[in-house]
Amino acid sequence: MEVQWKGVEPPRLRPPHTATGVIFSVLLGVWSAQALEMSVGKIPFLEAVNGSTVMLPCSYSSCIGITDLYFNWQFNDNGTMQKVCDSVIPSEGVVPDVRIYRERVEFVGKNRENNISILLWNITFDDQGQYTCFGRNPKEKGKNHSAIFTLIVVDELRVVDNTLTIIIASAVGGGIALLMGFMLLKNFTLFVLAKLEEKNKECLVTSSGIDNTENGLSGSKAETKSTPKKK
């Protein structure tokens, strides 16, 4: 039986290669989005004293390499992003010519190590806040990537009270020493008891030998008197 389509175009089946192409495109997009990574390290914050010099770390990595990688540092000033510095890295191994937009800032990254860190000299309380390390690699279809580093400025560093730690460490150390002393005393007592038991056994063997000799038992020669002959 033939189906008649009136006024409607019959549906067309997609060839198998079309579905494969869609899946490949999706996977390629996901891979490209994750190819570039910006990192500020395992600890994304720093507490520093007012007037000191600090380094804001950042590095990038790309599994497919870079081409004209654009990066910048931005400072979040009460919701307004202010550019600190920026540059373009043409390719791997090229030291970038970095433009600085903020005072007391120095670029200290080395491109051969994928390092794009900056140095802040003589920091003040106005420098406190969030700094964003941003990167975009045109080779990866211009995907944007970033990492945030937080700077905390204080009058003086807090002194950590280690009293509780010392007490716990002392208690644990004392317990271990007491256990070791108990084990040594136990081993010494067992050693002394073993020696005493060994000595008692020797005494018993010696005493048994003497008694047997006196009683004319095995191991001794008893004198016998001959019966006088009758004349």
Rounded to two decimals, the pTM is: 0.58
Separation CA 92–CA 150 (nearest Å): 28
pLDDT at 31: 46
pLDDT tens string, the chain, 231 residues long: the values are 555 555 555 555 555 554 455 454 544 444 444 579 999 999 999 999 999 999 999 999 998 899 999 999 999 999 999 999 999 999 988 889 999 999 999 999 876 789 999 999 999 999 999 999 999 999 888 789 999 999 999 998 877 666 777 788 778 888 888 888 888 888 888 888 888 887 777 766 666 655 555 555 454 444 555 555 555
pLDDT at 227: 58
**What DSSP string describes 100-121?**
E-STTEEE---GGGTB--EEE-
pLDDT at 222: 47
Q: Which CATH class is domain 35-154?
A: mainly beta
- Please name the amino acid found at residue 193: L
CA angle 88, 91, 96 (to 5 degrees): 40
